[in-house]
Amino acid sequence: MSKLKHRLLAESDGALNAITLGELADQGVEVFCWCNRCSHNAVLPTARLLLEMGPAMAVPEVGAGLRCSGCGSKDVATRPAWPSLGQVTRHG
């Protein structure tokens, strides 16, 4: 692979870094958690997770340290709990 292609790939990978707990806290956004086994979901306060995992923890990796309170599974996915735009209606 050419040096140019290596450099371009490295730059594009750097642009795709996941948001961290510290960045979410700065924006006042919480963490949405979803159990992939039972579909139980919850929103956790970012401040609590910051104390346990630190500000550099990437949000998608937070789920690896959680356990579902519904079924006990450790198969939990996490993402930012971005503010909702409200209910979306169907337009015919």
Q: What is the pLDDT of residue 51?
A: 95
Chain segment 47-91, per-residue pLDDT in tens:
999 999 999 999 999 999 999 999 999 999 999 999 876 666 666
Q: What pLDDT is recorded for position 21? A: 96
**Start-to-end C-alpha separation, the chain:** 50
User: For the chain, which domains are there?
Assistant: 19-80 (2.20.28)
Which residue has better confidence, 84 or 36? 36
Structure tokens at 52: 């346990």
Confidence band, pLDDT 50/70/90 cuts, at residue 17 = confident
Dist CA 38 CA 34 (whole Å): 9
